[in-house]
Amino acid sequence: MELSTVVGIIVIIVVAVLIMKFLGKLVSFLLSVVGIILVVWLVIVGLRYLDEQNVRDNLMNSNSMFVLQDGDSMVTGFATQDVGEADVSGLENELDNPNSNIYDDYYKVIVVNADALPEKTAMLFDVADDEDKLKLFKSYVDNNLLEGDFVESLVEKEEQGDVEVYKETLAFRHGIKDVLSS
């Protein structure tokens, strides 16, 4: 064999080894990045699952408040552990303050948009007195929000904009994109 052929083969082998080293490092880097993303995603999904379980276990057994909001005003509301109508005056200001005492008093505060009410219920609601409004609202909550898998129902209604859940936790964010961006 000629010397130029041997040198050519050696150059090809050296170039191939360098390319393999570079590609190996690139593949290793990409696998590391994908692995990190997967671990972060699994942690977030796991935390969301734990939060949903926490809500599932505690919403019905804890004192939570359901409030009906029409535009900017809170119309009526009730607490799950208290009897009668809850005081909803000035509630709008308290909900926006994460340090508000309302979060000490209630496990969750669920604000239902009046536009979410079924048409017949909304028509009855418009002509009802305060006591009947409370009964209609309780009936709506029991039959539409708390039936079946109420956590999935609340998350779905929240994603549709029909309800807002305070104190917002991981279960009531719309997915990993929202969780990572906040």
pLDDT digits (tens, 9 = 90+) for 25-48: 999 999 999 999 999 989 888 888
AA letter at 87: D
In terms of residue numbers, what domain contains 83? 1-182
Q: For the segment 44-97, what is each residue's pLDDT rounded down to a tens digit?
A: 888 888 888 888 888 778 888 888 888 777 778 888 877 555 666 666 667 767
Angle between helices 3-58 and 150-160 (to 10 degrees): 110
pLDDT reported for residue 172: 63
Q: State the Cα–Cα distance between residues 108 and 133, nearest whole angstrom.
A: 21
Q: State the Cα–Cα distance between residues 153 and 147, nearest whole angstrom.
A: 8
Name the region of 69 (left: φ>0; alpha: ψ -120 to 50; beta: rest).
Answer: beta
Where are the extended beta strands (E) located within 80-179?
109-113, 163-166
Identify whether the C-beta of residue 95 lies closer than 8 Å to the C-beta of residue 102: yes
Total count of domains within the chain: 1
- Cα torsion for 25, 31, 35, 37, to the nearest 10°? 100
Structure tokens at 168: 């917002």
Structure tokens at 172: 């009531």
Q: State the Cα–Cα distance between residues 63 and 134, nearest whole angstrom.
A: 17
Among 26-30, 44-48, 162-166, 172-176, top mean pLDDT goes to 26-30
Q: What pTM, to 2 d.p., does this model score?
A: 0.65
